[in-house]
Structure 1
Amino acid sequence: MPCDGQAVTRRQFETAPECETAPEAALPLSRGIVLLFAVACGAAVANVYFSQPLLVTMGHDLAMSPALIGSVVTLTHVGYGLGLFFLVPLGDTADRRRLVVLQLLLLVGALTVVATARTAGMLLAGMAATGLLAVVTQTLVAFAASLAPAANRGRVVGLVTSGVVVGILLARTASGVMADLAGWRSVYLASAILTALLALVLHLVLPRGSGTPRTSLRYGELLRSTVTLFARERLLRLRALFGLLVFAAFSTLWSSVALPLSEAPYFLSHSAIGALGLIGAAGALAASVAGGLNDRGLSRQTTGTALALLAVSWVPLAFTRSSPAALIVGVILLDLAVQAVHVTNQTLIYALRPDAGSRLIGGYMVFYSIGSATGAIAATTLYTVGGWGAVCALGATFSCLGLALWAVTRRCADGVGD
């Protein structure tokens, strides 16, 4: 098995479980439908990040202690992690079109609970359910990949992932502005309305039969097969490690950059700090470009170049306190690099076994979550001990580990993708 390539070998299909069915034929995808997927992905994943600028206001409104209000973010991410393992694999056995619409409607219910919460318990339950159901984002990514012809799959995954990038980076800015205008509850009420509209549009627009199940595995077997795929597929394990390291670096920056910016010499407001996400949205461009490069067989080169840029990005970021321009350059380089690796990862692992696309992407995203959590915890802890310099050293370490892993493993491929 190649450790860095996108071909599906004859042996892979010969050794696939007998209960797996052949991949469905790809359907023509118009640019409009791809953009609809991107919008739906961005809107869904944004719900995981809306709460971050709103925690203090939520706490005051519901008389929650600082420790309890801090659990809002934790429960949301715990719910998201559980959804990646327990819900996303359903895309390989259930009709994806119906599954997406159902998950979006359930997400509307969870958002409504949050928007109308009158007690801390109700809020926390709603946030956990919101995180659990927001994994419809990954179901949509796998769905879009299944509909795309193999020759254009990288470009489609890149465009859809660009929606995810924009959703993550703009969520904090949008929630802060809306909360200032109409209160924190308006954020979740507006998201519930948007999600309901997207569910209706997807139900009407997506072609019937486009989400035909690909396997007859029962639910328990489906979950066990997710673990089995990691044991069998070396490329999946490698790309999961890349994902863990690049998102640890990504989270190292975004979980801690507000700390130096709120201090001397900047003293920026929360809204101004949130606006930094607009700069990071450049990563959406990288997602689209990386998808096209993968379609041309340049996955290995794209990965190596992106990991090198990721390591270099921490040089200007180290000068954040003295140079706003350096911060901007560092943010752009980091987000370009992370999203290029992320799209490459998803394109390659889906091509391993299209019949198991949801399980592959769901399992991969578990490592994404681990990396994000590791970077956030380590960065905020290090900042209190060693300041911004220690945070940059941590981010550079994650980045250089990823580049070293690429350098060590790049020669074990079988030549496909050069």
Structure 2
Amino acid sequence: MKAAISGELLRQQGAQKKLTRGLILLMAVACGMAVGNLYYNQPLLADIGRTFGKTAREIGFVAMLTQIGYAIGLFMFVPLGDMKERRRMICLLLIAVSVSLIGVATAQSLLWICIASLLVGITTVVPQMIIPLAAQMAAPEERGKVLGTVMSGLLIGILLARTVSGAVGGTWGWRIMFCIAAGLMLLLALVMRLMLPESRPETKLTYRELVSSIGSLIKTQPVLREASFIAAMQFGSFSVFWTALVFYIEGPPYHYGSQVAGLFGLVGAAGALAAPLTGRLSDRYSRKMIVGIVSFVTLLSFACFWLFGYRLWGLVVGVVLLDLAVQGGQIANQSRMYALVPEARSRLNTVYTGSTFLIGSLGSGLGSYTWSVWGWNGVCATGAAMVSAGFIVWAICRIRERKMPKEIELSA
């Protein structure tokens, strides 16, 4: 037993020595580039709808299926990170998503683009293999800071993907955007193959045992359940807003096109840039309290959209608050979650991110649906309701903890 513990400590120390600033930056950039594939279509939904002669409600399924595919990919591939060499898997998946993006670019019907978008989602799970790797390689006292940096790349990629696709799509058409994305994924596969260190598995379980153990983790880890639900509700509200935004600003009082819709991603990036600070706060202060605070700030953002969304400054302030809060919540929740079972980080991430993007896909569908039925007020109410559900669960968990004897209260 002592030998096994010593071997594990040596392995962790070796991994931590490899985690240089350059490598952390590479991981952040790779996460941002890869996750952008899920969001290139959002500012272009109106343009894609016009290409195929479809309504906002019908074309909203493109964004929804992309995120459903992502959730499927998480459950299919991410658990393998605990039993397979990660670098090879990352490169193979980047090649696969490149092929899927070409499928979107050449789509000739709504059914075609829906299937291709589903495949893009399934194969765009590279960030969720990189993030557990960063958590594994980081020293425990710096894990929040490292995750904050990598997650800032992820969220900036989510936001700037809209800016880039809006600009490219508005200038050359939406198909060109997906052709460019396919080329970028092939280039990223080459860079990651050359620069990413080899990562050996942390468990000898079979794939069937890995998948079966996910249910056990859900059952035995209350912090995982809480963090996953709250993060899912926050991200669902995030998806509601960003899916509906392009339809809202095309009409009165704005009358903007897809290019301007994409520019709102630059506004949101201001919030994402605060991610490393949030990570440092997670290392120093109670992560549980940070989750509660950012949940409240997310709710404030939807109040801002509802009360002042008809003015440009109201949208801008709301976007900054929304993206800052969602990013902060993700970092604090992930720091709590990754500390639970170190040898099962990929499976923990499967539960956490899988539930997040399942609800995120629901949010995308609800965004287009509520916009078409109830307009902007319906969008704001739906987003606020999802955030409120997560906030209520957070409050219930804190009340239960206060009733627990101190000696059995879990540290999280």
- Distance in 2 between the 1:80 and 1:370 partners? 8
What is the one-letter code of the residue matched to 1:188? F
Aligned to 1:307: 295
1:182 paired residue among 172, 185, 204: 172
- CA deviation profile, 1:13-58 (whole Å, cap 9, x unmatched): 9xxxx9xx95841323111111111111111111112123344655
CA contact (8 A) 2:60 2:364 kept: no
State the TM-score, normalizing by the size of structure 2. Answer: 0.87
Identify the range of structure 1 (133-142 vs 318-327) with the bigger mean alpha-carbon deviation. 318-327
SS in 2 for 1:51: coil
Aligned to 1:391: 379
Structure-2 change in CA distance of 1:235 and 1:95 (3 Å) = same
Aligned to 2:273: 285
CA contact (8 A) 1:286 1:337 kept: no
Identify the range of structure 1 (184-193 vs 228-237) with the bigger mean alpha-carbon deviation. 184-193
Aligned to 1:296: 284
Q: Quick check: 1:160 aligned with 2:147?
A: no
1:326 paired residue among 314, 322, 340: 314
- Distance in 2 between the 1:173 and 1:266 partners? 18
1:400 paired residue among 374, 388, 392: 388
- CA deviation profile, 1:76-131 (whole Å, cap 9, x unmatched): 22321210111111101001122212211222232334345567666554333221
SS in 2 for 1:281: helix
Q: Quick check: 1:101 aligned with 2:77?
A: no
2:42 paired residue among 39, 52, 60: 52
- Distance in 1 between the 2:373 and 2:177 partners? 35
CA contact (8 A) 2:63 2:365 kept: no
- Distance in 1 between the 2:45 and 2:245 partners? 18
**Offset of 1:345 from its aligned partner?**
1.2
Structure-2 change in CA distance of 1:404 and 1:125 (3 Å) = closer
CA contact (8 A) 1:246 1:371 kept: no
CA contact (8 A) 2:67 2:358 kept: no
- Distance in 2 between the 1:75 and 1:389 partners? 25
Aligned to 2:227: 239
SS in 1 for 2:39: coil
- Distance in 2 between the 1:357 and 1:220 partners? 17
For residues 130-279 of structure 1, the aligned pairs below 5 Å read 130-208=120-198, 211-279=199-267
What is the one-letter code of the residue matched to 2:341? R
- Distance in 2 between the 1:104 and 1:146 partners? 22
Aligned to 1:89: 79
CA contact (8 A) 1:214 1:355 kept: yes
**Offset of 1:189 from its aligned partner?**
2.4
- Distance in 2 between the 1:253 and 1:130 partners? 22
Aligned to 2:406: none
Q: Quick check: 1:359 aligned with 2:347?
A: yes
What is the one-letter code of the residue matched to 1:284? A
**Offset of 1:319 from its aligned partner?**
2.4
**Offset of 1:137 from its aligned partner?**
1.4
- CA deviation profile, 1:355-411 (whole Å, cap 9, x unmatched): 111111111112212322333333443344443233323323332333332222225
Identify the range of structure 1 (52-61 vs 267-276) with the bigger mean alpha-carbon deviation. 52-61
Structure-2 change in CA distance of 1:248 and 1:79 (3 Å) = closer
Identify the range of structure 1 (228-237 vs 216-225) with the bigger mean alpha-carbon deviation. 216-225
Q: What are the ranges of 5 or more consecutive residues in structure 2 without an aligned counterpart? A: 403-408
- Distance in 1 between the 2:49 and 2:242 partners? 23
CA contact (8 A) 2:37 2:124 kept: yes
Q: How many residues align?
A: 396
Q: Quick check: 1:374 aligned with 2:380?
A: no
For residues 56-67 of structure 1, the aligned pairs below 5 Å read 57-58=47-48
State the TM-score, normalizing by the size of structure 1. Answer: 0.86
What is the one-letter code of the residue matched to 1:270? S
Identify the range of structure 1 (40-49 vs 282-291) with the bigger mean alpha-carbon deviation. 282-291
2:16 paired residue among 12, 17, 27: 27
CA contact (8 A) 2:64 2:362 kept: no
Q: Which has the higher helix share?
A: 2
- Distance in 2 between the 1:310 and 1:172 partners? 20
- Distance in 2 between the 1:259 and 1:56 partners? 7
Structure-2 change in CA distance of 1:365 and 1:302 (3 Å) = same
Structure-2 change in CA distance of 1:346 and 1:270 (3 Å) = same
Structure-2 change in CA distance of 1:229 and 1:27 (3 Å) = same
SS in 2 for 1:359: helix
